[in-house]
Amino acid sequence: MDLNTTEKIYPQIVSSSLTPMVNKLMKTGIRYARLRVDEYLLPIDERYGLDNERKIAHDAFISSCDILARNMGEIGENNSWRTMIGSDRKEIGDFACWIHLIVGLKA
């Protein structure tokens, strides 16, 4: 996932009328990104402790993406962003980090 792709995907997501689901996607993505950074900053021998929590957060973010995309499609909104994210876990995780960056800068 790169910034150019994120710049195409992010506006599609935030333009959805399904605000509670968009907020859930943002929150789960940001939580995952925070855990990813926390784990990265730990000494290698301490990283194992966060591994399961990070995986659960990653799964929650993926689920939020799937739920929002499915619901957007059901009401006729453009959900092509979900295809652009793909199914590779690393790419989806990277997208969560881009969301964290964008939201952080907007804040």
Looking at the chain, the whole-number percentage of residues with pLDDT higher than 70 is: 100
Q: Give the pLDDT score at 49.
A: 79
The count of structural domains within the chain is 1
Structural domain harbouring 49: 3-106
Its sign, for the CA torsion 77, 99, 54, 82, is positive
Determine what percent of the chain falls in helix, strand and coil, rounding each to the nearest 5. Answer: 80, 0, 20
pLDDT in tens, 12-31: 999 999 999 999 999 999 99
The model's pTM:
0.93
